[in-house]
Amino acid sequence: MSMEQVNVNIGLLGCGTVGTSLLELIHEQREVISQRTGLVIDVAMVSVRDVSKSRTAPIDPTLFTDDPKQVVESADVDVVVEVMGGIDPSRELISKALELGKPVVTANKELLAAHGEELYALADQSGVDLLFEAAVAGGIPIIRPLRESLAGEPITRVMGIVNGTTNFILTKMTEEGMSFADALEEAQKLGYAESDPTADVGGHDAAAKAAIIASLAFGGRVNSDDVYVEGITEITPEDIEFAHRLGHCIKLLAIVEKQESNGAESLCVRVHPSMVPLTHPLANVQESFNAIFVEGDSVGELMFYGRGAGGPPTASAVLGDLIDASCNIKRSSAASIGDFTSINISPIADLETQYFFEVEVEDQPGVLAQVAAVLGEQNVSIQSMEQEGLESEARLIFITHKALESSFQAAIGALDKLKIVRNIGTVLRVIGID
Ligand code: NAP
Ligand code: HSE
């Protein structure tokens, strides 16, 4: 029996790194998609900021416009794909498309982490899809597993590397001794970074992804403002060397976990550089690869791994969504994301974890005892310590046992006031030992 053929015209908003790769992939896979699904995908219009730019995408140049509204409203467009990025005008354009009853596929984590709930509700009202697999971890299928396969799982923690640019930079600094600036420049050339790369290196891109993951995994309302964020801009080659000496590497992690805060259940959502033991699977996630661990009471541990950034992997995720949305047009159905409940977000001060820190002190008798006493007063217990002599001082490098963040920060504040302390160096949270 031959499959019914259905023509689907897409309107593409944006033709940069992801948009260009998507057009190439559609061009290459058009026949295969048609054979497998009966969908004949055509591109009806493409909006860009500057129509005079020379472009390599395999597409009729007359389809370009600098008016994205025209794309959304065109009667020839059945599905809107948004790969422009940013909040405005993407928010208005996606809202318009949904109001017009057109399914939308987007890779825009910044927008979803800030205004997701309003857009999901609009999609539900119109009975159409709003799909966003590419918004988190590039080519790795993580949104669909969280939305569908794990919908009934009592998830306890999701933790991972969700930003390709920063993982690329940290890998290059560690493996090749490359400078931060050179590694960032290479990540930009390879199409991994956001148009404003401070979103990557400052941790805000990972924070947007953490908010989306938190909402889906825990069914609660979590947006980017709920995420505690530290980026990697302060990490130095020396920090990386110390970490290695102690059997660790440094990774930017996004962590969403359930915890008890003042007797009530809450969610701690955070992004920060972390010391990861070299024996931990996350330590082997290199370059632009991402990896996400999902832990649940029934399923145990799952790990999702793959390329987290770059045109082709991201386009693969967008195309999967596009096919899904198009098949749903054929079936007159749509996947609802469901309702979100309000959820307590615990402050970072309530976190309990291990810490790495480095203190430069005067090299004289009794110094170690003074430092240990300050830590002890705040209930911070030392797991390991290394000392090295500098010219006229000593450097102490500590890893603590688990301690309360507020106590640890109080200890660091008190150490800073000691006369024998010349400088408090890098402070990092440590995962995976205790
Ligand atoms: P990009 O290379 O900067 O491309 C953006 C495209 O949108 C360009 O074609 C640009 O036009 C167009 N555009 C931007 N602002 C516009 C405006 N106001 N009006 C009309 N057109 C506008 O960005 P990208 O890397 O492809 O990323 C696109 C989206 O995918 C972002 O949301 C990003 O976070 C997400 N994403 C990216 C990756 C990745 O690895 N790159 C991975 C996952 C998700 P011009 O070409 O004329 O400048
Ligand atoms: N800039 C992002 C990253 C793109 O480096 O991970 C993928 O979302």
* Cα 13 to averaged position of ligand 2 atoms, centre (Å): 18
Phi, psi of 396 (to 5 degrees): -110, 130
pLDDT at 434 > cutoff 70: no
User: Quick one: which of 195, 169, 193 has its CA closest to 182?
Assistant: 169
Cα 211 versus chain centre, distance: 9
Backbone angles phi, psi at 424, to 5 degrees: -100, 120
The response to whether residue 308 sits with its C-beta less than 6 Å from ligand 1 reads no
pLDDT at 83: 98
Q: Where are the beta strands (DSSP E) in 83-152?
A: 104-106, 130-131
Find out whether 65 and 46 touch, Cβ atoms under 8 Å. yes
Measured in angstroms, how far is the CA atom of residue 296 from the centroid of ligand 1? Answer: 35
> Does residue 88 line the site of ligand 1, with CB under 6 A?
no
- Is residue 327 within 8 Å of residue 33, measured between CB atoms? no
H/E segment holding residue 429: strand 421-430
Using one digit for the tens of pLDDT, what is the confidence trace for 210-265?
999 999 999 999 999 999 999 999 999 999 998 998 899 999 999 999 987 677 88
Poorest-pLDDT segment among 168-182, 198-212, 326-340: 326-340
pTM here is: 0.97
Place of tokens 């302390």: 421
Q: Is the pLDDT of residue 284 over 80?
A: yes
Percent of the chain with pLDDT over 70: 99
Residue 192 Cβ < 6 Å to ligand 2:
yes
Whether the Cβ atoms of residue 359 and residue 423 lie closer than 8 Å to each other:
yes
Residues 390/423, Cβ–Cβ less than 8 Å: no
* Cα–ligand 1 centroid distance for 309 (angstroms): 13
pLDDT over 60 (residue 188): yes
> Is the Cβ atom of 84 under 6 angstroms away from ligand 1?
yes
Ligand 1 pocket: which of 12, 18, 205 to mutate (most atoms within 8 A of CB): 18
Q: Which two tokens stand for residue 252?
A: 């930017």
Ligand showing the shortest atom-to-Cα distance for residue 167: 2
Strands 264-277 and 289-296: unpaired
Substitution site in 20, 53, 83 for ligand 1 pocket (most atoms within 8 Å of beta carbon): 83
Distance CA 401, CA 434 (A): 7
Tokens of 34: 């048609």
- DSSP characters over 46-64: EE-S-TTS---SSS-GGGE
More confident residue, 265 or 68: 68
Average the pLDDT over 368-384 and give the result: 96
Between vectors from CA 188 to CA 185 and to CA 189, what angle results, nearest 5°? 90
Does the C-beta of 191 come closer than 6 Å to ligand 1? yes
Q: Is the dihedral of CA 7, 12, 16, 18 positive or negative?
A: negative
Residue 172 annotated among the catalytic residues of the structure: no
Least distant ligand from the CA of 50: 1
Q: What is the CA 184 to chain-centroid distance, rounded?
A: 17
Which residue's CA lies nearest to atom 4 of ligand 2? 309
- Is the distance from the beta carbon of residue 108 to the nearest atom of ligand 2 less than 6 Å? no
Element (H, E) at 249: strand 248-261
Q: Which atom of ligand 2 is nearest to the CA of 290?
A: 6
Is residue 140's pLDDT more than 50?
Answer: yes
- For atom 25 of ligand 1, the residue with the nearest CA is 17
CA of 21 to the centre of ligand 2 (A): 15
| % of the chain surpassing 90 pLDDT | 91
318 within ligand 1 shell (Cβ under 6 A): no
Average pLDDT over residues 135-162: 97
pLDDT in tens, 381-433: 999 998 888 777 899 999 999 999 999 999 999 999 999 999 999 999 999 74
State residue 179 phi and psi, 5-degree precision.
-75, 160
Q: Does a cis peptide bond (omega within 30 degrees of 0) precede residue 312?
A: no
pLDDT at res. 1: 59
From the CA of 314, the nearest ligand is 1
